[in-house]
Structure 1
Amino acid sequence: MDSDALTKIAAAIDSMRPDFSALSDEIWDHAELKFEERRSSALLAKALEDNGFAVRRGVAGMDTAFIGEFGSGKPVIAFLGEFDALAGMSQAAGLAEPRPLASGGTGHGCGHNLLGVGSLMAAIALARHLKDSGLPGTVRYYGCPGEEGGSGKTFMVRAGLFADVDAALTWHPAPFNGVRSTNNLAVLEYYYRFKGIAAHAANAAHLGRSALDAVELMNVGVNFLREHMPQDCRVHYAITDTGGRAANVVQAQAEVLYLIRAPEMRQALDLAARVEKVAQGAAMMTETRVETVFDTASTNLLPNITLETAMHENMVALGPIAFDEADLSFARSIQQTFTDEAIRSSLRLYQIKGDVFSNAKIDGSTPLHLGLREFERQSHFRAGSTDVGDVSWVTPTAQCWTPAWAIGTNPHTWQVVAQGKSAAAHKAMAHAAKVLATTGFSLLTSPQLLAAAKTEWAEKTEGRPYVCPIPPEVMPGAGH
């Protein structure tokens, strides 16, 4: 990485940080759910237009999906942004105790307010540097809605919006700083809707056919199935409709949502076929009918060690984040809400075993990760899923993590929401922007690096072409 370019890009992002931290906070304030992120997407798209990007809105059949583009010609470097929130995650910012702002309200429990804006800063900073230096190439920002259970990127990939992209870069807030190569799981989501016959549960129970019984029997059957599936697979469920609150009525309808995960999509499809047999068996036992409704899906992540190594090298060059005592104090108060096991679990989850900067402690004794995680140049298993996986099957893709959260913080918790507007989170967001922008610059100025990343991608995908797991007739949110 050109040290002069790194310094200029980093300085540009530092100058942007106050305004873009305010933008991230505004998105946090509105906390919109998947495919409903109208205000959040509008704010991000306007920021792109204000900085000279041409913006296409409503792409891939999603009102809140958009693409911003700057420059022309090859290579095309994509930055992925997310901005959706989670239901039931309402929480006041800056407090180290659970305190919802609204009962049952929404909240940014995965830090996507930071994620979307950090990628935005990277795209804008790199575009400015291209303009100032006269370099060729195209910078794109992909406004990706519905990551949380909606698979917005999968729909964008299905629409061919990444067909000419040479490489894609993204990041995620975390309790650590660094690159960690992961093999995330493929996931399929189905609603199983049972239809029966209502009846008075005392006077005429023999005339009823209980859809709720069918749901319960299906869940029992899948529980037995868990013993006989590959150990890296996962199956989760939630009963989304119990058929009503009256116990003296035989429930005529009931519904359960299943998430079926596996290391590769073909395995997920095989497991889904077995779950379908359990659902049909439950319907047969209860003399009800079942309708299986496909909701959405995401493909397993395909790591690219070449890109990840380049990203790590830029993180080394940038150095650690300059957290101050106020940052540490707030993180310490958050960390006190965790058990020792939660902190150890966080370190295990993110595979933090060593640090590039020798003076940084990584054993949980400091509340924020002050250094940089060692990069092993090999992939690790991770049981979660992300629609970044679908992007990785059509273009070389890499991501980093930066410490927006205290060590011990787990995603989808009130503690994440509480830290979403903190000064430390803003610093971590800006640091991620620097990593993404400098890695994008490396790709734009090093044909050898880009060629090596593409070679690795081609080798990993050879004989395993990408097949979109979402049928062409399914539209975003169709299962709801």
Structure 2
Amino acid sequence: MNVSEKISEIIESKRSLFTNVSDQIWEYAETRFEEFHSADLLCQSLTNEGFSVTRGVAGLETGFIGSYGEGHPIISILGEFDALAGLSQEAGSKSFNPISVNGNGHGCGHNLLGVGALSAAIAVKEYLEENQLAGTVRYYGCPAEESGYGKTFMARDGLFRDVDVAFSWHPATMNAVMHSTSNAVIHADFKFLGRSAHAGASPHLGRSALDAVELMNVGVNYMREHMIDEARIHYAVTNTGGFAPNVVQSESEVTYLIRAPKPHQVRELFDRVVDCARGAALMTQTKMEFTIQGSCHNLIPNLTLEKVMYQHMKELGFPSLSEASIEFAKAMYDTLTDEEKQSSAMFVGKEMAKRLKDRPIADFIAPFSENAKFMGGSTDVADVSWNVPTAQCVTSTWAFGTPYHTWQVVAQGKEEYAHDAMLLAGKAIACTAISVLENPELIENAKRELKETLDGKRYESLIPSDLVPPNSKQMINSY
């Protein structure tokens, strides 16, 4: 029995455990920094399987590390489990059907992500135990990936310094090994303080904080013409200062995401955004203060590990699909707009899109390309990848064309093919981890590649050294 077969046997023997845990986390649907039930369930699952668990790591109330084994090599497997606000949706429904209005939902599939990683960690643990191999496997429980940047806090606090290699994965609409870069990002809040007054009787006495927010946004909008094409700046007004138009607003707040391909580029853009805020405060005679909420670096791919992972994915293959799964995937595909379908078709090519249109679950492993793709979005896996060689895969947990962060993702979160794809990711990660454990030269080559890619650059977190993650009391008071 080869490694792929052995790992598949271990994971399939615990299929009901993994699917039940994933479905329960889907039910919890807890958002950033509030994943208490989800973290408890994962910690208990690790404890039951013989892992020692340390909770509250890097100041994260819902962050934890489960560890098994001794010494090097140390394998890190990253798990996420946070949901998104406003995406409540009934599982298995073929139409938009919220369980609760404005409730939460797993619109990025992190119920699957965290448990796929869990299955990999447990499989590696059992393989180590059965074959009496030296080494350590760690499951990193990483909260708040959705704009909370849990891994960035972990990386800043040195929790990956002794790790040899790291693995992760993400739900998607294809089965592939990622070879990608991404945008770095800084997330910051800007608050303006002015002076209230009667807007009709004595407007000259007021200093509008809302005017300052609007002027800042106008300034940043003009800035967009004068920045590199790959950069992105997004904002949302989070506090308009009230609902009475006859009162000059004495306070107002706006939150910004600033993205660029390199850390130094995002720092430079952030400084320019801050200047826009200062200018707006000067124009309105208000006071401005800003707080960095989080950040992450750009992703560093690692061909050495990715090639090994791809070979294992090809050996494993995607499980056979039931007719019920295919029919439900078709129903999901039919909910997409023509624009969404066309966008997906452009991404995979005409022939592939034609194939997936009639059978919209990718039940094959996409070819691996050594040409790195650029993602306009951001991920805090990037901060791990700056510290340790990191490889990731994606698997087809969703019907072809399904957009991230939508009700369709939530609706598919408990489907049989979603569970199959989740466990395929777990198997691929576990097999790659075993290859690394049994072949020390892979670690040496992966580390050498990372060093060459960084070319003398050192990891410096983009978040301030004194920034601490919000705790549950702060989160409650923020509403």
TM-score above 0.5: yes
Distance 1:448 1:352 in 2: 37
Q: 2:429 aligns with which of 415, 419, 436?
A: 436
Q: Who is 2:378 aligned against?
A: 385
Amino acid in the other structure paired with 1:477: P
Aligned equivalent of 2:221: 223
Counterpart position of 2:132 = 134
Mapped to 2, the partners of 1:452 and 1:329 lie a distance apart of 45
Kept after mapping to 1: 8 A contact 2:356/2:362: no
In structure 2, the residue matched to 1:70 is 68
1:224-252 Cα shifts (integer Å, max 9, x gaps):
10000011100000000000111111111
| Equivalent residue in structure 2 for 1:446, among 430, 439, 444 | 439
Counterpart residue type for residue 218 of structure 1: M
The equivalences for 1:69-468 within 5 A come to: 69-349=67-347, 362-468=355-461
Contact 1:150–1:477 at 8 Å: present in 2 too? no
Structure 2 distance, partners of 1:99, 1:404, is 20
Q: Is the 8 A contact 1:86 1:107 kept in 2?
A: yes
TM-fit CA distance, 1:362: 4.9
CA contact (8 A) 1:196 1:251 kept: yes
Greater shift in the superposed pair: 308-317 or 469-478: 469-478
Which one-letter code corresponds to 1:282 in the other structure? Answer: A
In 2, Cα distance between equivalents of 1:101 and 1:291: 39
CA contact (8 A) 2:356 2:400 kept: no
Give the superposition deviation at 1:353: 8.3
Matches of 1:95 and 1:86, distance apart in 2: 18
Contact residue 93 and residue 421 of structure 1 kept, 8 A: yes
Cα distance in 1 for partners of 2:354, 2:69 equals 42
SS of 2:395's equivalent in the other structure is strand
Letter in 2 for 1:105: G
Q: Classify 1:399/1:354 alpha carbon distance in 2 versus 1 (closer, same or farther; 3 Å).
A: farther
Is the Cα contact below 8 Å between 1:301 and 1:392 reproduced in 2? yes
SS in 1 for 2:393: strand
User: Aligned to 1:469, which of 462, 476, 479?
Assistant: 462
Letter in structure 1 aligned against 2:283 = M
The 2-side partners of 1:279 and 1:112 are apart by 35
Deviations 1:461-480 (A, max 9, x none): 23111101111100113896
Deviation at 1:315, TM superposition (A): 0.5
1:59–1:89 distance in 2 versus 1, CA, 3 Å: same
Unmatched 5+ residue regions in structure 2?
none
Q: Deviations over 1:106-149 (max 9, x none)?
A: 11110000000000000001100110111111110000011111
In the alignment, is residue 29 of structure 1 matched against residue 33 of structure 2? no
SS of the equivalent of 2:91 reads: coil
| DSSP-derived class of the 2:430 partner | helix
Q: Is the 8 A contact 1:368 1:403 kept in 2?
A: yes
Q: Quick one: structure 1 residues 353 and 55, their matched pair in 2 at CA, closer, same or farther if it must change by over 3 Å?
A: farther
Distance (Å, rounded) in 2 between the aligned partners of 1:418 and 1:232 = 32
SS in 2 for 1:172: strand
Aligned-partner Cα distance in 2 for 1:45–1:346 = 37
Q: Could you list the per-position Cα deviations for residues 248-296 of structure 1 after superposition, in whole angstroms to 9, with x for gaps in the alignment? A: 1111100000000000111000000111111111111111111111111
Is the contact between residue 353 and residue 374 of structure 1 (CA under 8 Å) also seen in structure 2? Answer: no
What is the CA deviation profile of residues 311-356 of structure 1, one whole-angstrom value per residue up to 9, with x for unaligned ones?
111111112232211111111101100123312323545x56898x
Tell me how far 1:297 sits from its aligned partner: 0.4
Report the CA distance between 1:180 and its aligned residue.
2.6
Q: Deviations over 1:409-446 (max 9, x none)?
A: 11111111111111111111111111010011111011
* CA distance in structure 1 between the partners assigned to 2:436 and 2:357 by the alignment: 35
Aligned partners of 1:288 and 1:312: how far apart in 2? Answer: 56
TM-score (norm 1): 0.96
Answer whether contact 2:117 2:168 (CA < 8 A) is retained.
yes
Letter in 2 for 1:88: G
Aligned equivalents of 1:218, 1:364: Cα separation in 2:
45
Give percent identity, aligned residues only.
51
Shift of 1:39: 0.6
Distance change (3 Å), C-alpha of 1:353 and 1:132: farther
Mapped to 1, the partners of 2:67 and 2:355 lie a distance apart of: 39
The 1-side partners of 2:280 and 2:88 are apart by: 37
Kindly indicate whether the alpha-carbon contact (under 8 Å) linking 2:191 and 2:289 is maintained by their aligned counterparts in 1: yes
CA RMSD across the alignment:
1.6
Q: Could you say if the C-alpha distance between residues 144 and 89 of structure 1 is closer, same or farther in structure 2, counting changes exceeding 3 Å?
A: same
What is the aligned partner in structure 1 of residue 56 from structure 2?
58
Provide TM-score, normalisation by structure 2.
0.96
Cα 1:352/1:134, change in 2 over 3 Å: farther
SS of corresponding position for 1:399: strand
3-state SS in 2 of match to 1:477: coil
Judging changes above 3 Å, is the alpha-carbon distance between structure 1 residues 353 and 373 closer, same or farther for their aligned structure 2 residues? Answer: farther
Distance 2:319 2:180 in 1: 23
Contiguous gaps of at least 5 residues in structure 1: none
**Distance in 2 between the 1:371 and 1:280 partners?**
53
Equivalent pair of 1:57/1:67 in contact (CA under 8 Å): yes
1:44 aligned to which of 27, 42, 59? 42
One-letter amino acid matched to 1:7: E
